[in-house]
Structure 1
Amino acid sequence: MAITKTKKMPIDVRNHSGYEITYLVDDLQVKALLLLPYQRVKRIVVYLRGGKGQVGKVRTGRLLQFANAETLVVGPYYRGNNGSEGKDDFYGEDLKDVTTLVKLLHTQYPDAAIHMIGFSRGGLQGLLTYYDLPVSSFIIWGGVSDIKLMYEERVDLRGMLRRMIGHPKKQAAAYQLRDAMQYITPTSPPILIVHGAQDHQVGIHQAYYLAQALNDISLTYRTVYQQQEGHVPRPFALSPVLNQIQQWMSDVEHQTIQDDYAIE
């Protein structure tokens, strides 16, 4: 388990340098974009992208939203995407692309707090992996929390889901493997749920479902609901959410998590 290649990217911002790293997973060369701070790494943010292929690809600007002077931010491309070897498995073997990277970073920076952020598709990508990793918390933002709900609400994606996973009834076992709540326990790391009430790509009922499920097992969580925003907040509504995410990570690290709340 090691980084096999590091490529310097033309990314030089105030506090970070950018690299495309390649690491080995199941004999596959999987790539990720990494922003390395000039200062000592005290926090790591692992951004789990949404989409597939070029849709939702990992971008520098997105990673920088979660960076500060002492934060390493990294976004795995997943196998079969953007130059990574293999075939995208959509919550299958590609989950190893996440777990391997997190364990690798934890080995390199054992004293750094690690937070995972899953956006859209990345929501379930994180829920299916974070609970068994050395992480401090998971943030699910506009994220899928239940694959069956995704199949029901996104009629336009049913063909893709049938090709990659199968039909929920005919391939019930494959869908059952992708049910994250069977793995999450009351002692799992805490979760921040961020969602827009006007989200038409991943309906807010995905967030409500997850909040209720976490409540039922008494896992610590917090919710941030933006009543007037969609899948991606408008620019004026983006800054408050990013501030709340930063506050959440700080609260978790200092063990000062308060009750949940909403942003209007």
Structure 2
Amino acid sequence: MEYQTITMGYVYVLKNCSYEPYVVKIGKTTLEPHIRSKQIYWGATGVPEHFDVAFICKVPDCHVAEKAIHKALASYRKNKRREFFHLPIEAARNIVVSVSAELFGKENISVAVNIQEPTKRKIKKTEEDKQDEHEYQNASEMPVEQFVRTFKSSPVNTSILTSEQKTRLCVIKDVFDVVFPQEASKYHENFSCDQNPDREIKIWEHMAKAFMKVSTTPFIAYEFKREAFFLLLMRSMKSTDEVLINRDENIINNKQAKLLLKAYELKPKPLRVG
């Protein structure tokens, strides 16, 4: 078969960190795949974050290749009207390569893996970020148990919470109720002890986002979720490496702990007392 007269196209595998694990988008394009991934994001209001290109295969006829690949993966398709499939990226990569090679021959396809890594946007540091960084670098290495015994919080109503802050705390409460049930009024009382409650609320919001990686999975036991909560609490004050070094493996192994802790997006922020 001759393919010289056919415009080359691409079959791509995209991933999106907002979707559940093992959900990938497999489609075709005659454009550069990273351009197509941006088009999908900007063209759909229902997509919360950018797509990352996980894998690309350049083929002689992307229309034929896509149709055959989708047929092979029919059992894994999330929705017949959408190009999303429930399977690991490696499995998606293998099927794209094998089907394309069978259609066109190995010598007529070319592969590029991870050509576009997720981009990290630079965030300008605020004065508070700089202060957090300074305090973290100069923090004493007091053992956690000793810290808990000697810690004394500020009085209730040290700060007066705004209605917006109380609303944000209600969301945090709903997320952590599965392992840390408390009335909303108790949350309000606890956070009113902080001199800067907005800072602390932001920390707990990011803990909640990371915690939902495990809390929304029905097959995970309560003990696993409870341990995940305390790991994230430590991560809010220490780096991932420090938490892993100082923890004792229990229900959550180190590999699982590392994945969980990496889901927490803020830098360590030392607990401020007084």
TM-score (norm 2): 0.25
Structure holding more helix per residue: 2
TM-score (norm 1): 0.26
Greater gyration radius? 2
